[in-house]
Structures are given as structure tokens and as C-alpha cells.
A and B are shown apart, each in its own frame.
Chain A
Amino acid sequence: MATAGKVIQCKAAVAWEPNKPLVIEEIEVAPPQADEVRIKIVATAVCHTDLYHLFEGMPKDGFPAVLGHEAAGIVESVGPEVTEFQPGDKVIPLFLAQCKECRFCKSPKTNQCELGAMVGKESRFTCKGKKVLQFAGTSTFSEYIVIHQIAVAKIDPAAPLDKVCLIGCGICTGYGAAVNTAKVEPGSTCAVFGLGAVGLAAVMGCKAAGAKRIIAVDLNPDKAEKAKVLGATDFVNPKDHNKPIHEVLAGMTNGGVDYSVECVGNVEVMRSALESCLPAWGVSVIVGWTEMFDIKIRPPHLISGRTWKGSMFGGFKGKDGVSEMVKAYLDKKLQLEEFITHNMTLDQINDAIELMKQGKCVRVVMSVSPE
């Protein structure tokens, strides 16, 4: 492409400070170096983890940054020694890399690539002469990004980028938590706490795994309908009950659920999710993100037989999982359209953020560059 080897000036939404609106700026995106790929981002969505960085975690050295980690795009150019990708490939950037060489990549038990830490360490973005951090190594609220090839997944050229962008985070995170991490078994009873995109994807995963009963839990009764579309058999609003939620669920299920998935990111809910499981064999998976508080439980809850786990990106290895999930969508085994409640452009990102903060959307897909 004409831009290969040159700095690209393009549009991006920059977070200059914590807890402030993003600003649409012109940034400079350096060409890819060895083992790197420059990608034109076509579509991206806002995920709660972007908001966590901006409004909750707010690390002092985390700004200025370009947020965004759930996207799909097209390779614009590749750096030296890149053989896996070429210009024109449809790709999804990965916040969780897959180098395929480290001991974690070689183990089927995990997706925690050791080399993933190198992704995004040295930013290729500048704005007004300042280095701007590439959040999660992906920074997809930008028309172009540069990323290490171990953190890019090639996808089927038939895939519609404005849909499969969701596979870059929320869908895999929730669906995989049920299928890969909890390992939901057919005929079982599940509870999913939190019905944002990740929770709805977990409901979808529980259904795909053959759960007989899927209890969707949320404080917002408006969330019930979509949960049922995706497979929930029951909806419970903790506010409707005087008893603690784990007692309500235990009462509904002869002692507790077989699997619970926490998709909120709140340590009290994580506790309730574990306590809602049946003592003998219940498994609870933490999916929602927080680094601000500890989880807590009384030891007898584990001693009597429950298992506590967690996962990132649904336990999917980045490259393998993403291409598998895109294929599942194209084969109609996975739903994505139901998650997309709004379509906007990158310029409207602060509106998208507001909708997310108020819980008034599931996913807002923003078109970033034309395909």
C-alpha cells in the first residue's frame, strides 16, 4: 500500500487524563518494526475494561493513552520477518497474545502467554509530540495501530468486520468462561451474574454447552429479555428479594447451582456467586475485572467441595480461539447481532461511553475506518 514504510497521520480518540472525556485528535502512527503489523481498524466497540482504566483503576502512569481492545481490521503493512500476515488480511488484534513458543502457549491448560507482556510496551503512537500509550497493546480507538504479530489473529476473509469485532473481547470472554473455564456439562444448572455483553455471552456459552437451566441474575429488570433470547431459562433480580441472593438461588436449585459465572467485576458479587454454588461440586468462575479489592470467603465454602476459578478472554488462546469463534459465527453456531444495540462512528465515542456507563446498551459498534 502507498502508506507502507511511512508514518501515518490519522484520527484517534485520546484519553489525556483519567475521568475525562476522550478527545478526537490527529496522531502519528509509526511504521511496523520487525515482527510487527500495522492494521487499519475498521470497527471497534467499547468494553467495560476500557472504562475501568478511565474511571476506576486510573493508574497514574496510564495516561495519555488510546483505549480500545475489541476490534477488527485489515492489515495495512507488515514489518521485516513477518511471514504470517500480508497486506489485505482481515485480522483481530489480541490483548492476550499467543506466541506459541513459551511454556504457557505449549500447555493446553492455559492461555496466559508469557511473552504477551512485551506487547504494547513501546508505543508507536505520538500526538502533539508526546508518546501516547497503546492500552492493552491494542489501542483500537484509532484508525491505525501497530502491534506485535504474536498479538494478531488472522480471520476468515468472509467475516463481516462490523460484527466479528466483538470476538476480540466480550464474546470470547463470556462464552469461553462457560465452555472452557467452568466446563459446563450438559444437563447442568448455571447462574450468570451480570447481563452486560460478557454475561450474555456466558449465557450463550452455557446454552451451547447443554445446560438444562440457566439463571440470569441482574439488578436491572430490562436485561431479562435479551438474556432469555440468548438462552436463559430464569431471571432473578436480587432487589426483589429480602434474602441474600445465594440463598435465593440455593432455594431455587436444591442446594445450589452446578456452575456460576461472575460477569460484573464486583468482589461482593464474586462472593455471592461462589456461595450460590452447590457445596459438593459447584464451580464458580470470576470473569468481571477489578484490581481494587480482594475477594473474600469463609474457608468451609471451599473445604466442602466448591472450586473457585477465574479466566481472562474465556480461557481461549488468542490466535486459535479467535479464528475458531469467527468460524463458529459464520457457521451460525454463535450469535453476534443480538449484542449490537447501537452503531456509531469513532467521533461519537464519548456518547458510546455514556451509554455503557448508564447500562443503556449491550455493545455499541463504532465504525472507525471504511473497509
Chain B
Amino acid sequence: MATAGKVIKCKAAIAWEPNKPLVIEEVEVDPPQEKEVRIKVVASGLCQSDLYFLLKDMNKHLFPLILGHEAAGIVESVGKEVTEFQPGDKVIPLFISQCRECRFCKNPKTNLCEKGSVGEHDNIANSRITCKGKKVRQFMGTSTFSEYTVVNQIAVAKIDPAAPLEKVCLIGCGISTGFGAAVNVAKVEPGSTCAVFGLGAIGLAAVMGCKAAGAKRIIAVDINPDKAEKAKVLGATDFVNSKDHDKPISQVLTEMTTGGVDYSLECVGNVEVMRSALECCAPGWGVSVIVGYTNLHDITARPIQLMTGRTWKGTLFGGFKGKDGVPKMVKNYLDKKVKLDEFITHNMALDQVNDAIELLKQGKCIRTVLSVSPQ
């Protein structure tokens, strides 16, 4: 392409400080170096994890940064020694890489990658994006609220050219995270009973995963009754609003299920809910998976909950290895085995990113897809 080898000036939404609106700025995006890929971002979703770092964690030292880690785009150019990709390829950037060489990549038990697990490749010294003369951190290594971004090839997944980018961008985080939590990590079994706490995009994807895995009963739990309908569209058999009961939610669920659920998934990121999710599992074999993220507080539980046989786990990106899992999920969508359209409640342009943030903060959307660059 005409831009190959040159710095690209383009638009991006910069987070200059924590807890402030993002600002649309012009940025300079360097050409890809060795083993890197420069991607034109076509569509990006906004995820609670972007908000977590902007509004909750608020670590000043991370700023300025460009958020966004759930996106799809087209390869604009590649650096030296890149053989896996070429300009024009449709791709999804990965916030967890898959180098295929480290001991983690070689082990089927994990999707972590030693070369580039979350946070490691967003070191500001390695950023390829500058704004007003300052390097800007490529948050999570992806920075998809930018028309162009540069990513190491170990953190890019090539996808089917037939895939509609404005839909499959969601596979870059939310859908894979929730679906995989049920299928790969909890390993929901056919005929089982599941509970999903929190019906944002991740929770709804977890409901979808429980259904795909053959669960007989999927109890969707949320404090907002408006969330019930979509949960049922995606496979939930019951809806419970914790606020409708005086009893603790774990007791409500235990009573509904003669002793507890077989699998529970926490998709909120709240330590009290994480505790309830563990406690509503059946002793003997119950498995509870933490999907929602927080590092602000401890989770707590009575040891006897584990000693009587419950298992506590957690996951990033639904346990999917990035390069392997993402193309499979895209194919599942194209084969109509995975739904995406139901998750997209709003479409906006990158310029409207702060409106999208407000909607997500208020729980008034599932996913807003931002169109970033024309295809």
C-alpha cells in the first residue's frame, strides 16, 4: 500500500488522564518493525476492562494511553520477517499473544503466553504511536481506538476473509471470554445446571456457551430486570433478580436447584458476587469460574466451601489460545453456531467514543460497535 514504510498520521481517542473523557487527536503511527504488523482498525467494541483501567484502577503511571482491545481490521503493511500475514488480510488483534514456542503455548492447559501476556507488550518504550510528540502507551498491546495500530505478529489472528469485521470484532474479547469460560474453563457438561451472574456481553456470551455445551438449565442472574429478555434469547431457562429476594442469592439458587448448581460463572467483577457464585455451587463437584476482573479487593470464602468439593477457577479470554481460538470462533459465527448480532445494541463512530462509554457505565447497552476506519 502507498503508506507502507511511512509514518501514518491518523485519528485516535487518547486517554490523557484517568477518569476523564477520551480526546480525539491526531497521532503518528510508526511503520511496523521486525516481526510487527500494522493494522487498519475497521471496527472496535468497548469492553468493561477498558473502563476498569480508565475509571477504577486509575493508575496514573499508565497514562497517556489508547484503550481498546476488542477489534477487527485489515493488515496495511508488515515488518521484516513476517511471513504469516500480508497486506489485505483480515485480522483480529490479541491482547494475549500466542507465540507457539514458550512452555505455556506448548501446554494445552493454559492460554497464557510467556512472550506477551497481558500488560507485557504494552510497555511504553515499545509503543509505535505518538501524539503531540509524546509516546502514548498501546494499552494491552492492542490500542484499537485508533485508525491504525502496530502489533507484534504473535498477537494477531488471521480470520476468514468472508467475516464481517463490524460483527466479528466482538470475538476479540467479550464473546470469546464468556463463551470460553463456560466451554473451555468450567467445561460445562451436557445435562448440567449453570448459573451466570451478570448479563453484560460477557455474561450473555457465557449463557450462550453454557447452551452450546448442552446445559439443561441456565439460570441468569442480574439486578437489572431488563437484562432477562436477551439472556433468554441466548439460552437462559430462568432469570433471577437478587434484589427480589431477602435471602442471600446463594441460598435462593441452592434452594432452586436441590443443593446448588453444577457450574457458576461470575461475569460482573465484584468480589461479593464472586463469593456468592462459589457458594451457590453444589458441594462435591461444583465449579465456579471468575470471569469478571478486579484487582481492588480480595475475594473471601470459608475454607469448608472448597473442602466439601467445590472448585474455584478463573480465566482470561475464556481460556482460548488467541491464534487458534479466534479463527475458530469466527468460523463458528459464519457457520451460525455462535451469535453476535444479538450483542450489538448500538453502532457509533470512533468520534462518539465518550457517548459509548457513558452507555456502558449506565448499563444501557450490551455492545456498542465503533466504526473506526472505512473498510
Which residues of A are at the interface with B, using a C-beta cutoff of 8 A?
Answer: 104, 107, 109-112, 267, 270, 279-281, 286-287, 289-291, 294-312
Which 6 pairs from chain A and chain B are nearest by CB?
Answer: A310-B306, A302-B314, A110-B284, A280-B110, A310-B307, A303-B314
Residues of chain B within 8 A (CB-CB) of A309 are 306, 311-312
Query: What's the Cα separation between A301 and B271 when bound, in Å?
Result: 13
B59 smallest CB distance to A (angstroms): 14
Of the residues A111, A112, A289, A303, contact of B293 by C-beta under 8 Å: A303
Known: A107-B284, A280-B104, A300-B295. A295 touches B300 (CB 8 A): yes
A56 smallest CB distance to B (angstroms): 13
B324 smallest CB distance to A (angstroms): 16
Query: What's the Cα separation between A304 and B295 when bound, in Å?
Result: 12
Query: What's the Cα separation between A299 and B293 when bound, in Å?
Result: 7
B133 at the interface (CB under 8 A from A): no
Q: Are the CB atoms of A299 and B303 closer together than 8 Å? A: no
Residues of chain A within 8 A (CB-CB) of B110 are 280-281, 305
Q: Are the CB atoms of B303 and A295 closer together than 8 Å? A: yes
Q: Are the CB atoms of A267 and B303 closer together than 8 Å? A: yes
Of the residues B109, B293, B304, contact of A280 by C-beta under 8 Å: B109
Residues of chain A within 8 A (CB-CB) of B312 are 302, 307-309
Q: Are the CB atoms of B298 and A296 closer together than 8 Å? A: yes
Q: Are the CB atoms of A303 and B307 closer together than 8 Å? A: no
Known: A291-B304, A303-B290. A311 touches B314 (CB 8 A): no
Residues of chain B within 8 A (CB-CB) of A311 are 307, 309
Which residues of B are at the interface with A, using a C-beta cutoff of 8 A?
Answer: 104, 107, 109-110, 112, 269, 271, 274, 283-285, 290-291, 293-295, 297-316
Known: A110-B309, A280-B109, A281-B109. A303 touches B303 (CB 8 A): no
Residues of chain B within 8 A (CB-CB) of A267 are 303
Tell me the nearest residue of chain B to A313, going by C-beta: B307
Tell me the nearest residue of chain B to A309, going by C-beta: B311
Residues of chain A within 8 A (CB-CB) of B295 are 298-300
Q: List 15 A-B contacts (CB under 8 A).
A: A107-B284, A109-B284, A109-B285, A280-B109, A286-B303, A291-B302, A291-B304, A297-B299, A298-B295, A299-B274, A302-B312, A303-B291, A303-B314, A307-B313, A309-B312
Query: What's the Cα separation between A295 and B311 when bound, in Å?
Result: 14
Residues of chain B within 8 A (CB-CB) of A297 are 298-299
Query: What's the Cα separation between A40 and B104 when bound, in Å?
Result: 55
Known: A291-B304, A300-B293, A310-B306. A110 touches B285 (CB 8 A): yes
Tell me the nearest residue of chain A to B305, going by C-beta: A310
* 14 extra A-B contacts, CB within 8 A, seeds A112-B308, A310-B305: A109-B309, A110-B284, A112-B283, A279-B112, A287-B307, A297-B298, A300-B293, A302-B290, A304-B112, A304-B314, A305-B110, A305-B316, A310-B303, A311-B309
A256 smallest CB distance to B (angstroms): 12
Q: Are the CB atoms of A299 and B307 closer together than 8 Å? A: no
Of the residues A107, A281, A302, A306, contact of B285 by C-beta under 8 Å: A107
Query: What's the Cα separation between A289 and B271 when bound, in Å?
Result: 24
B246 smallest CB distance to A (angstroms): 23
Query: What's the Cα separation between A310 and B314 when bound, in Å?
Result: 16
Tell me the nearest residue of chain A to B313, going by C-beta: A307
Query: What's the Cα separation between A279 and B314 when bound, in Å?
Result: 10
Query: What's the Cα separation between A322 and B112 when bound, in Å?
Result: 40
Q: Are the CB atoms of A294 and B307 closer together than 8 Å? A: no
Residues of chain A within 8 A (CB-CB) of B109 are 280-281, 305
Q: Are the CB atoms of B316 and A304 closer together than 8 Å? A: yes
Known: A279-B112, A280-B107. A296 touches B299 (CB 8 A): yes
Q: Are the CB atoms of B112 and A305 closer together than 8 Å? A: yes
Known: A107-B285, A112-B284, A279-B112. A286 touches B307 (CB 8 A): yes
Q: Are the CB atoms of A104 and B284 closer together than 8 Å? A: yes
Residues of chain A within 8 A (CB-CB) of B304 are 291, 310
Q: Are the CB atoms of A312 and B307 closer together than 8 Å? A: yes
A251 smallest CB distance to B (angstroms): 16
B96 smallest CB distance to A (angstroms): 10
Residues of chain B within 8 A (CB-CB) of A110 are 283-285, 309
A335 smallest CB distance to B (angstroms): 25
Q: Are the CB atoms of B316 and A303 closer together than 8 Å? A: yes
Known: A110-B285, A281-B109, A299-B294. A308 touches B308 (CB 8 A): no
Residues of chain B within 8 A (CB-CB) of A291 are 302-304
Residues of chain B within 8 A (CB-CB) of A307 are 311-313
Q: Are the CB atoms of A280 and B309 closer together than 8 Å? A: no
Query: What's the Cα separation between A305 and B293 when bound, in Å?
Result: 13
Residues of chain B within 8 A (CB-CB) of A281 are 107, 109-110
Residues of chain A within 8 A (CB-CB) of B306 are 286, 295, 308-310
Residues of chain A within 8 A (CB-CB) of B305 are 310
Q: Are the CB atoms of B308 and A310 closer together than 8 Å? A: yes
Tell me the nearest residue of chain B to A290, going by C-beta: B303
Q: Are the CB atoms of B274 and A294 closer together than 8 Å? A: no
B271 smallest CB distance to A (angstroms): 7
A306 smallest CB distance to B (angstroms): 7
Q: Are the CB atoms of A306 and B300 closer together than 8 Å? A: no
Query: What's the Cα separation between A294 and B305 when bound, in Å?
Result: 10
Known: A300-B293, A305-B315. A280 touches B112 (CB 8 A): yes
Query: What's the Cα separation between A306 and B311 when bound, in Å?
Result: 11
Considering residues B284, B300, B304, which has the most beta carbons from chain A within 10 angstroms of its beta carbon?
Answer: B284
Query: What's the Cα separation between A112 and B305 when bound, in Å?
Result: 12
Tell me the nearest residue of chain A to B109, going by C-beta: A281
Tell me the nearest residue of chain A to B319, going by C-beta: A305
Query: What's the Cα separation between A138 and B98 when bound, in Å?
Result: 54
Known: A280-B112, A286-B306. A296 touches B300 (CB 8 A): yes
Q: Are the CB atoms of B313 and A299 closer together than 8 Å? A: no
Query: What's the Cα separation between A258 and B293 when bound, in Å?
Result: 24
Considering residues B285, B303, B306, which has the most beta carbons from chain A within 10 angstroms of its beta carbon?
Answer: B303
Considering residues B107, B297, B307, which has the most beta carbons from chain A within 10 angstroms of its beta carbon?
Answer: B307
B68 smallest CB distance to A (angstroms): 20
Residues of chain A within 8 A (CB-CB) of B284 are 104, 107, 109-110, 112
Query: What's the Cα separation between A310 and B288 when bound, in Å?
Result: 13
Q: Are the CB atoms of A298 and B313 closer together than 8 Å? A: no
Residues of chain A within 8 A (CB-CB) of B107 are 280-281
Residues of chain A within 8 A (CB-CB) of B274 are 299
Tell me the nearest residue of chain B to A291, going by C-beta: B304
Query: What's the Cα separation between A290 and B299 when bound, in Å?
Result: 18
Query: What's the Cα separation between A279 and B300 when bound, in Å?
Result: 19
